[in-house]
Amino acid sequence: MILDRFANPARFLRLANAILPWCVGATTIMLAAGLYLGLFVAPPDYQQGDSVRIMYVHVPAAWMAMFVYTNIAIASAVSLIWRHPLADLAANASAPIGAAFTFLALVTGSLWGKPMWGTWWVWDARLTSVLILFFLYLGHMAITSAFDNPARGAKAAAVLALVGFVNVPIIKFSVDWWNTLHQPASVFRMGGPSIHPDMLWPLLAMGLGYTLFYVVLLLLRIKSELIGARLRALDSLRQDAA
Amino acid sequence: MRFTGIISRDLRLALRQRSDAAMIVLFFVLTAALFPFGVGPEANQLAAIAPGVIWVTALLSVLLSLERLFLADYEDGSLELMALSPVPLELTLLAKVLAHWLTTGLPLIVAAPLIAVLFNMPLEALPTLATAMLLGTPTLSLIGAVGAALTLGARRGGILIPLLVLPLYIPTLIFGVSAVDAALGGFPVRPHLLLLMAILLISLVVSPLAGAAALRQANE
Amino acid sequence: MGSYGGYVWPSYGLSAVIMAGLVIVTLRRLRAREQELAQRQGEYPARRSDRVKTAVSEDSNGSGGASDS
């Protein structure tokens, strides 16, 4: 099975160290390209003017918010079913990154909303769902660190992540329903798939850049967690010796 | 321990501490009574927010009771015995949830009309409110049980539970309120109630599995 | 940027600050832990510290490092 190949932390570290420089390079290139295309090449929108450029940091952040949560749920399932040693680390290392992206999606959304809607916050279905997702992230991070035994925290967080993941579509559906009941359907919507290529390319470049950025941080954080685990093992060795 | 055994044991324990259930109902009524001070005593406005107030305060009242759901059993070791018994832990958890609902959700449903009257809510919507709460409050107990099980042995478990559980309560809140709103507006209430029932059924599957997994972790 | 600069630049700026912050926090913790591990390895007999070292460095025959976390 493919997972077994990464089960050994030493092998994982070897692999991580090998691909890290490439990932860092690719991240830099993609983000630089995305920024250049988004800020200088892409045209202003005929309705929204230059405020549409917020899209190039907002939409990738929102993508990452969902993507990272999905990854956490997958890692949690792997952790609970196969008791894979790296899965817990991957889930816990992902959570703060995902929370940061979700926060960015919310704040940039708000900064986009102010010139478009005239207010900083609308209880729009998407914004509300992302806000709830942010709370799910915070809960996950809180329970991870709530136990004296980090292993217990990781397992509890894994169960919570799976329960949360089952709930995400239900929350999305219920918020959509609630929103159509309470809100006139005149809120601004993004262009959808009919987006102009000059706007699509910077968006894709930034999306890829954000994804690579996440991969780099994830590898570094897992590495750091592995060393942390060794340090804890050394502590218990010292206690045994004493 | 059999299913009925656990329910009757928990119910007997709860009845012995009748004051707990009474406290929760008191909290429910008291919190709801704060809202007129916040938004003003205007009758129409109070009637408009009544369904939301009833549901939100019901959520908070359920939260109050969650921490103690497994705590006593965890601390005196009964939980380990339950895990060892031939009855599946999932079933044991359902029994505990049922007992929790009988001592928390049911009293809240009984007390809800009082708040509705205080808020000038038209009484035609009361049957819908009761039905919605009958379908919704068991979900609150079920999801809450997962949160309570996950936080056993945690530092600051009591503050942690709301953080974990409240986001998951939002769908129940939305459909619970929209059912009553529909009844007040003369719209069909059936779809709202069916959705509440769907959420209940999903929770009925997910929460015993997740809750039992959490209880096993707590026992390790 | 026209009249929208006041919204566009803060969006990019905040994104940069948060993402840079993530990188800094992550690298700092990694460096601190690497240093602590390097220090600690002096405290133990060679064989044991070798085993610890292999799990973290690039050697191939390290023992399971994260089994306790």
CB C2 within 8 A of CB A49: yes
Question: For the segment A135-188, what is each residue's pLDDT rounded down to a tens digit?
Answer: 999 999 999 999 988 888 999 999 999 999 998 888 888 888 887 776 544 444
- Token pair recorded at residue B111: 């007390």
Please provide the average confidence, as pLDDT, over all residues in chain B.
90
Mutate which of B67, B166, B168 to test chain A, going by most A C-beta atoms within 10 A? B168
Question: Using 50, 70 and 90 to split pLDDT, how confident is the model at B80?
Answer: confident
What's the average model confidence in pLDDT over C46-68? 44
The alpha carbon of residue A109 is apart from the nearest alpha carbon of chain B, in Å, by 21
Comparing CB atoms, the residue among B154, B174, B214 nearest residue A178 is B174
State the Cα–Cα distance between residues A103 and B47, nearest whole angstrom. 36
The ipTM of this complex is 0.89
Q: Is C24 on the interface with A (CB under 8 A)?
A: no
Question: For the segment A187-211, what is each residue's pLDDT rounded down to a tens digit?
Answer: 445 444 456 777 788 889 999 999 9
The pLDDT, as a whole number, for residue A242 is 66
Percent of chain C with pLDDT over 70: 57
| Element at B67 (helix H, strand E) | none
Question: For the segment C9-18, what is each residue's pLDDT rounded down to a tens digit?
Answer: 899 999 999 9
Note whether C touches B: 3 CB pairs or more under 8 A. Answer: no
Burial of A66 (0-12, 13-18, 19+ CB in 10 A): middle
CB A150 within 8 A of CB A88: no
State the Cα–Cα distance between residues A56 and A38, nearest whole angstrom. 6
Comparing CB atoms, the residue among A44, A51, A104 nearest residue C15 is A104
Residues on chain B touching A171 (C-beta within 8 angstroms): 167-168, 170-171
Could you give the angle at which helices B126-150 and B105-118 cross, rounded to 10 degrees?
140
Comparing CB atoms, the residue among A146, A148, A164 nearest residue B160 is A146
Question: For the segment B48-64, what is each residue's pLDDT rounded down to a tens digit?
Answer: 999 999 999 999 999 98
Residues on chain A touching C11 (C-beta within 8 angstroms): 54, 57-58, 107-108, 111-112
pLDDT at B114 over 90: yes
- Quick one: CA torsion of B104, A169, A57, A114, rounded to 10 degrees? -60
Q: How far apart, in Å, do the first and last CA atoms of chain C sit?
A: 49
Comparing CB atoms, the residue among B156, B171, B178 nearest residue A170 is B171
Question: Using 50, 70 and 90 to split pLDDT, how confident is the model at B15?
Answer: low
State the Cα–Cα distance between residues A133 and A115, nearest whole angstrom. 25
Tell me the sheet residues that pair with A45. A49
